[in-house]
Structures are given as C-alpha cells and as structure tokens.
Amino acid sequence: MTTSSVFTSAVTLTPAEPEHFDLAFTATTQPCPWPKAYGGDLVAQAAAAAIRSVTDGKSLHSMHSYFLRPADIGAAVRYEVEVLRDGRGYSTRQVRGYQNGKPLYVCLANFAAGEAGGGFHAAFEDDVPDPESLPSSAEYLAGRSGGTMTDASKAYWSGGRSFDMRHVPGPLYLTVEGKQTPHQAVWLRPFDRLRPVEGLSDAQRDQAALAYVCDYTILEPVLRVLGLPWARPGLVTASLDHAMWFHRPGPLDDWLLYVQEAVAADSGRGLGTGRFFTRDRRHLATVAQEGMIRTA
C-alpha cells in the first residue's frame, strides 16, 4: 500500500544532549535502493530541527545548505542547532548534521515574524495538463524494464517516496520522454493525508514536506536536456548545495505543480531551479540546487 509515512517518519526527531551547539536532535534516514541516503531526508530533517528551535512564532522563510558527505541509509543523523540570532523581526540558525563522528550536512536557516507589505508571485503554467490525465509513476513503469533499473528501484519510484509524481513531459526513469528541453513540470501530492509530526504544527510539517520532496526531481531538467535517463548505465548524481525560499503557506492536501528549469551544466555539475504552485495558482516556494552529474 502506498503511503506518505516514509516522509513523516523521516522528520520525526528525538531530542538529544548537544555536544557542539545549543540544541540537538537525532533522526533516521529512510530506506532507498541506492548506496547512500536520499538528500531530501537531510534537508527536511534539518528544517525540522531548526523549526523546533524557534519558539516565538516566527516562520521559516529560507534555507541554504551544503551536502558534505554521503549519509548511511537507515542510520541516525545527529543535528546540532546553533542559535545565531533572535531579533524582533528575524531569527537565524545554523544546523549541522553528523554521522559516524563527521559532519555530513550544514545549513543556515532564517525565520521571519512577517509584516504588512505588497504581494506578487510568479506566473502559473497554464498549458500544463491536469494531473488526473497523466499516468502515475507506478502506471508508467508497469511492464517496463531496462538499463540499471532493478525491482527495488522500480518499487521505490512507483510508491516508495511518499508522494505521487506525474511528469510533463513524461518521466526520465528509463528514457528521456519527450524532447531534450531544459524545462519540465511535475504534479505531486502525498499518497495519503500527512500524519501529525511531534514537535511541528501542521503548517511547519508541510514546509518540511516541501523541503523533503523538492530534491527528488530538481536535477531532472538538467538530465533531460543532456539526454540522460535515471537508468542509464554509469550515471551517478549527488546533491552538492541547495537553497530554498518559502514565500507563503499552503496545505499539502491537493496537487502541487513543481515547475523546473535547467540553468547550467558543465564540468560535471548541473544547476536546476524550481517553483511550487498550488492548483489555485499560489506560488508557495522556490528552489535552486546544484548537483554532481557524472557519466561513465
């Protein structure tokens, strides 16, 4: 049965005694069929740790992250939170993730109290087909095989990532469906209603959910324009750095449109950007991420 509990399990933190900074939590990376843990686990877990350190009502509005080392799957990561500043309007935290005694992830997170001001958001993509007209990953992959795809990776792409994802144009699992363009869009929503997460409000959990799911496909427009499907033999990717801005709140109880673009690719690295929209055209968040893209 498909479920969103993989995400909520990932962002369930356990308080710990700090060893380096002001507060500490531990969290466990979730199963995936690759040699190392999914990078979105680290971003979402660090977001949850930073959020739990801010108790005066401010909301997370940006994160800037670096991935220093790969994380082991199914193992605890220790997140140490440093309280850098608590001002009237803004607060700043540094979060470092440790595993096996070494730092593997670091981010700065900023929080805002919010104030009155003008509003604007990027334009919604009007010509994207509705998600109901598109195949799910499971439907697309049914009866297909090839490349480096295994039964485990097929099951993971189909239902192991907590979110139903539907690509425009088609997915990059086995081949590059559609033209080799630097653009794509992905409709996504949780497989079922997100469960409560201890220590987070529903709105904070939904912010962590965006931080979690954004990493799955953010490099895909770069792969698409280079003609590289995920199952291409010899393809290796890894997240290098990540930035995310949260513009306005929005519940994750319906489809979101994740509009993505390749910005650059060279020297074994690629940069992708993305914007999250609700179906009623509200722009919730913006993402930029650079990743390693290596081919044999």
39-76 per-position pLDDT tens digit:
999 999 999 999 999 999 999 999 999 999 999 999 99
- Given a cut of 90, is residue 296 above it in pLDDT? no
pLDDT of residue 232: 96
- Given a cut of 90, is residue 127 above it in pLDDT? no
Which pLDDT band, with edges at 50, 70 and 90, does 208 fall under? very high
pLDDT of residue 47: 98
- Given a cut of 80, is residue 123 above it in pLDDT? no
**Cβ proximity of 119 and 282 under 8 Å:** no
pLDDT of residue 179: 85
How large is the average pLDDT for residues 117-128? 75
Distances (CA, A) of 221 to 53, 104, 212, 261: 35, 26, 18, 6
- Given a cut of 80, is residue 122 above it in pLDDT? no
Residue 151: phi, psi to the nearest 5?
Answer: -60, -35
- Given a cut of 80, is residue 117 above it in pLDDT? no
**What is the rounded end-to-end Cα distance, in angstroms, of the chain?**
36
Which pLDDT band, with edges at 50, 70 and 90, does 222 fall under? very high
**Can you give the length of the chain in residues?**
296
pLDDT of residue 263: 97
pLDDT of residue 283: 95
- Among the residue ranges 29-33, 253-257, 278-282, the one predicted with the least confidence is 278-282
Query: For residue 84, what is the enclosing H or E element?
Result: strand 76-86
- Given a cut of 80, is residue 120 above it in pLDDT? no
Provide the token pair at 22. 């002001």
**CA 141, CA 57: separation in Å to the nearest integer?**
44
pLDDT tens string 86-107: 999 999 999 999 999 999 999 9
Mean pLDDT of the chain: 95
pLDDT of residue 19: 95
**CA 228, CA 172: separation in Å to the nearest integer?**
8
pLDDT tens string 128-166: 999 999 999 999 999 999 999 999 999 999 999 999 999
Residue-wise burial string across 173-196, b where 16 or more C-beta atoms lie within 10 A, e elsewhere: bbbbbeeeebbbbbbbbbbeebee
pLDDT of residue 176: 94
Provide the token pair at 181. 């363009």
pLDDT of residue 265: 96
**Cβ proximity of 80 and 23 under 8 Å:** yes
pLDDT of residue 116: 73
Distances (CA, A) of 207 to 76, 125, 134, 149: 22, 22, 26, 31
**Cβ proximity of 219 and 262 under 8 Å:** no
